[in-house]
Structure 1
Amino acid sequence: MIDYINGVLVDIETQYVVLETQGIGYQVYCPNPYRFQRQLDTQIKIYTYQHVREDLIRLFGFETKSERALFEKLLNVSGIGPKGALAILASGQPEHVVRAIEEEDEALLVKFPGVGKKTARQIILDLKGKLDDFVPSLLTDSNSLMESTRGGGPSKNEELEEALEALRALGYVERELKKVRPTLEEEQLETDAYIKKALQLMLKI
């Protein structure tokens, strides 16, 4: 298994990023590739999970070990494959996903793409009580990432447009984005923060 790739981020697509190391470009599928937008053309480390099927070998990538571990836990739930697990991680902050499971918050879980009531109940049945160690580490990882992304960058409008484009890639339609855009425009945030804020607002719609 490939534990991580340390390479130059050379491309970002709607579903994956491309990391180049020693002349090889690795296609790595991520929960939200656009979160790496500000690191384009720089060297980064992505923790990976290698998924093997009879007809497919695919690498999935994550910013932190904790996020990868949660992805693996979700794969153990009956009815959830890699695509579904990625959608859940892309649509909500990992620590919120963990809390929803521990608190049996089905109403929150069913808001994630591809998760119906039956799947939400299955997630809770399979994972509740098995994620106690995740919340502290996820909160630590989240704080570290916020610190690492502070500083100069694109203008507010560019950050917002990047966030909206990422949300479109996740399957959100213009009708949903129009409802939250006025609120987002009132704040001056970085791309990741805009995405998180938008997701929080849409979960309340």
Structure 2
Amino acid sequence: MISTPDLSHLRTADYDQVYEPAEDTFILLDALEEDAEGLKAIKPSVCLEIGSGSGCVTSFIGNILGPSVLYLCTDINPYACKCTRWTGIQNKVDINVVNGSLATPFGFRLVRQIDIIVFNPPYVPTSEEEAFGAQISRDIGGAWAGGSDGMQVTNILLNQIEALLSPSGRFYLVALKQNNVPNIIQTMQEAYRLKGEVVLQRRAGREHLFIIRFVRNLS
């Protein structure tokens, strides 16, 4: 079993500004652990987490893959970027964090070069105004407010994934049942020939969480 990253350096005051790891985080960690051998097998060079928050997920991946991988993270919340750096240091994972939206900071520099992409998005259905305001304010609200179907931010990234993912790359997405998981999988297959599969699902209180793994459909 791979240990959950040490987050003892983060305090209650930090979680007032940054999303605290919860069930959606832990199901993602479980899915990544189940895929550990597969991740090693593709011999990844670059890993990107979108919306890294506390830095828990990338630190976990770092414990699976070791120091040979370039670990990149983005977050719109400047305080989350600091927390991600602190968590990387605490867990001896060299994380490079950029304060920015989704994969925008990398532009065309990493076209089809990212071997692992991970996104635990703001998936909670809210008003579109609330989701837009949360992204503009660049604070903790941006970690959960997802617009009318919870897909307002996710859809932006889904349109970027094909251009970023390496030929053997894997993209992991956290989704809620209300996000219409079958539609996400169908859309990515039809629009980008990315094959999606639910690799883990779990009920957590009122939420039904899914981890979808996408790979290139090379057939």
Q: TM-score, normalised by structure 1?
A: 0.28
Structure with max Cα Rg = 1
Choose between structure 1 and 2: higher helix proportion: 1
Structure holding more strand per residue? 2
Q: Which has the higher contact order (CA 8 A, sep 6+)?
A: 2
